[in-house]
Amino acid sequence: MAEDAIAAANVRLQELGYADRDLAVHPGPRGKALLKGSRIISPFSDDAALVLRVVETLVPPEAELGTRLLRPASLRATLAE
């Protein structure tokens, strides 16, 4: 399941206009997934299903993000709302 969620998140990121170097999801240690790249301050690490949810609901299209960078703390805070 984790591989499916990671693949789905990467497809969605490509649809949003991100190149792999800019923002992509990678397998992490202990079954976690990492959202990382040049468009995020530091990697966002969590369960693959949650990372997929973040990509689907919180990551804006690349053109809308502009020159800003994503912040993992802001993503987590928005999830908690």
**pLDDT one-digit tens code per residue, 10-31:** 999 999 999 999 999 999 988 8
Q: Where in the chain are the domains?
A: 2-80
Express each pLDDT in 26-57 by its tens digit: 999 888 999 999 999 999 999 999 999 999 99
**Which residues share a beta bridge with 27?**
33
Distance CA 38, CA 81 (A): 26
Confirm whether pTM is higher than 0.95: no
Distance CA 40, CA 76 (A): 13
Distance CA 40, CA 57 (A): 16
- Cβ burial of 3 (10 Å; 0-12, 13-18, 19+) is exposed
Neighbours of 34 (CB within 10 A): 19
66 conformational bin, left if phi > 0, alpha if psi -120 to 50, beta if neither: left
